[in-house]
Amino acid sequence: MVVHVNAEAPGDERGALLAFLDAERGGIRRALIGLTDEQAATTPSASELSLSGLLKHAAEVEQSWLARAQQVAPEVERTEENWHECFRLVGDETVEDRLAYWEKVARQTEEFIRSVPSLDDTFPLPDEPWFPDSERVSMRWLLLRLITEMSRHSGHADIIRESLDGKTAFELVALERGETWG
C-alpha cells in the first residue's frame, strides 16, 4: 500500500515542506513493500528495531507532534509503562492498519498546516525536562522536526530492509513504480 498526501510543492514554502515530509515518509513505507507482517516484525540488525515497529513509531510520533501543535491530547499517550509498545505491533495490529492510520495522520497534518494563518504561528512545547521552560516553536519548526524524525527512521528502515533480503532503497522505488532495478 503506497500512501501519498497531496503535498505538491508549487513554489510555496508550505507545499515544499509538506512534500519533503511525504518523501521521507515514503522511505519507511517503501521498506515494507512485499513483506509479510512476520517479516516486517523481524529484527535483523544489531538493534531491536523492526520495520513494523518503525512504521508504528513514525505514525505515533507524527500524530503526537500534530496534537501538540493543535494543543490537544495525543491519540496515544506513551508513558514509561507502555513506551515499549511504541516500537512493535501489539494485539491485532497489522502493517496494513498501521499504514492506514499513518495515511489518516498524514492527511490531518497537511490539513492542519494548510489551515494555519502563518508558518510563523507558534505553540508551546510540553513541560518536559528535555524541552526548555516556556519555549514556543513555530509551525515551520514542527515541519522541520517531522522531516528530521522521518528522515532518521527512513535510514533505519533502509538498513533493516537490506539486512532482511538485500533489497536497497533504489530497488524498492523501482518495485513501487512496477519497474525492475539493475
Contact of 66 with 150, CB cutoff 8 Å: no
CA distance 47 to 50: 9
Q: Tell whether 78 is covered by a domain.
A: yes
Is 5 inside any structural domain?
no
Residue 136 confidence (pLDDT): 92
Residues 19 and 160: beta-carbon distance below 8 Å? no
Per the structure, how many domains does the chain have? 1
Give yes or no for a contact between 52 and 98, defined as CB atoms under 8 angstroms apart.
yes
8 in a domain, yes or no?
no
**CATH code, domain carrying 162:** 1.20.120.450
Contact partners, residue 47, CB within 8 Å, separation at least 6: 156
pLDDT tens, the chain, 182 aa long: 444 445 454 569 999 999 999 999 999 999 999 999 999 999 998 888 999 999 999 999 999 999 999 999 999 888 888 888 889 999 999 999 999 999 999 999 999 999 999 999 999 998 888 777 778 999 999 999 999 999 999 999 999 999 998 888 778 877 778 877 66
Report the distance separating Cα 147 and Cα 102, nearest Å.
15
pTM (predicted TM-score): 0.88
Residue 85 lies in a domain: yes
- Please give the residue range of the domain that contains residue 45: 13-176
**45, 62 contact by CB (below 8 A):** no
Determine the pLDDT at residue 7.
47
Flag whether 4 is in a domain: no
